[in-house]
Structure formats: C-alpha cells, structure tokens
C-alpha cells in the first residue's frame, strides 16, 4: 500500500509502476492493473516501459541480497511471464528508447541488452541495488532452466480477484 500511495500520490501516476512485486516471503503481487499475463505498460523504466515488464523485489538490496524465498518467486514469475509471451531468457534484445528525463538513453536510441536486467541498466537509478544486481546473471540462467523444464504449459501465478475501488474518504487508493 505504501508503494501504491507513493507512486500514485507522490509521482502522480495512475497506479503502481511495476507490473508485479515480490516480497521477502516469496509472495507475488499484481502491481499495475490489467493482469499479470497481459502486456500491460508499466512505469518502471522510463523510455522502455512499453517494451518491458517490471518486477520490484520489495526492499533495499544495496548490501543485503534478496531472500531465498523471494529469489525463487522472482525466478518462477519471470519464467512464467516469458513463457506466456513465447520468449526465452537467453540472449539479447534490442529496444528503442522513448527517452525521458529518467532514462539513460535519448529518444530514438537503439539499445541492445540482455533480456533480464535491472532497470538501472536503462534508467537513472541505483535500482535494483548492488547486491541484487550481482545476482541477475544467476537468476537469468535459472529462469531459462525453469522455462526449459516447464516446456509444456506454464502455470500462471494465481491472480487476485478484482478489488472494488476504495471509498472517496480513503483517497481512492486500492490495496493490492
């Protein structure tokens, strides 16, 4: 709820910027409204939002790595999300920046990156933090192994039921 309030009230966005969030216990939460399986445009990596899906691992991971439970949930979600869209975690992709003051790249710039990155690779941010950033290579490898192991039909994370809008006296914040 704190992230939702910050993104909506502080940043003026219409929802949480991330498509999904993972907590330290391994719970996966839907972030931006529209559904986890759909290609919903987030607000997590300015200039690249329409070409990426953003996952926040809740916490500060500059010095302390993510928990084993959150790492497994992150791997499970990324493998599922990539498989739903017929993608692998291997190799690189080319994206074209839409620019913006929080983007590392000017509008129109072609950027070649690995398929799973921390958003500091394209945005002017320290996220995901050095400790989590150091784990991305291993996470990328484990995601691909999971995709290959589940080559039949991926099972989606359970999507929460729709939540009715909050009454006006609560500021219109809808908890996830």
Residue percentage of the chain with pLDDT more than 70: 86
Collapsing DSSP to helix, strand or coil, 12 comes out as: coil
For range 123-128, the mean pLDDT: 91
Alpha-carbon span 135 to 132, nearest angstrom = 5
Contact 105, 123 (CB under 8 A): no
Render pLDDT for 18-59 as a digit per residue (tens, 0 to 9). Answer: 999 999 999 999 999 998 888 899 888 999 999 999 999 999
Contact 39, 87 (CB under 8 A): no
Listed residue (99, 100, 97) closest to 110, CA to CA: 97
Q: Provide the pLDDT for residue 166.
A: 47
Q: Provide the pLDDT for residue 137.
A: 96
Terminal Cα distance for the chain, rounded: 7
Averaged pLDDT score across all residues of the chain = 87
Q: Is pLDDT at 14 greater than 70 in this prediction?
A: yes
For range 69-86, the mean pLDDT: 95
For range 68-86, the mean pLDDT: 95
């Amino acid at each position: 709820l704190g992230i939702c309030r910050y993104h909506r009230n502080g940043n003026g966005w219409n929802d949480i910027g991330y498509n999904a969030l993972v907590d330290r216990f391994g719970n996966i939460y839907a972030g931006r409204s529209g559904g986890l399986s759909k290609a919903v445009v987030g607000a997590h990596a300015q200039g690249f939002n329409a070409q990426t899906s953003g996952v926040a691992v809740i916490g500060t991971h500059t010095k302390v790595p993510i928990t084993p439970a959150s790492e497994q949930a992150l791997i499970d979600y990324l493998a599922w999300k990539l498989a739903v869209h017929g993608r692998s975690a291997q190799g690189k992709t080319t994206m074209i920046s839409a620019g913006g003051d929080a983007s590392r790249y000017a509008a129109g710039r072609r950027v070649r990156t690995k398929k799973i990155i921390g958003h500091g690779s394209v945005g002017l941010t320290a996220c995901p933090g050095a400790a989590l950033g150091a784990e991305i290579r291993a996470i990328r490898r484990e995601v691909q192994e999971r995709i290959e192991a589940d080559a039949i039909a991926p099972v989606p994370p359970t999507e929460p039921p729709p939540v009715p809008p909050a009454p006006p006296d609560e500021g219109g914040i809808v908890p996830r």
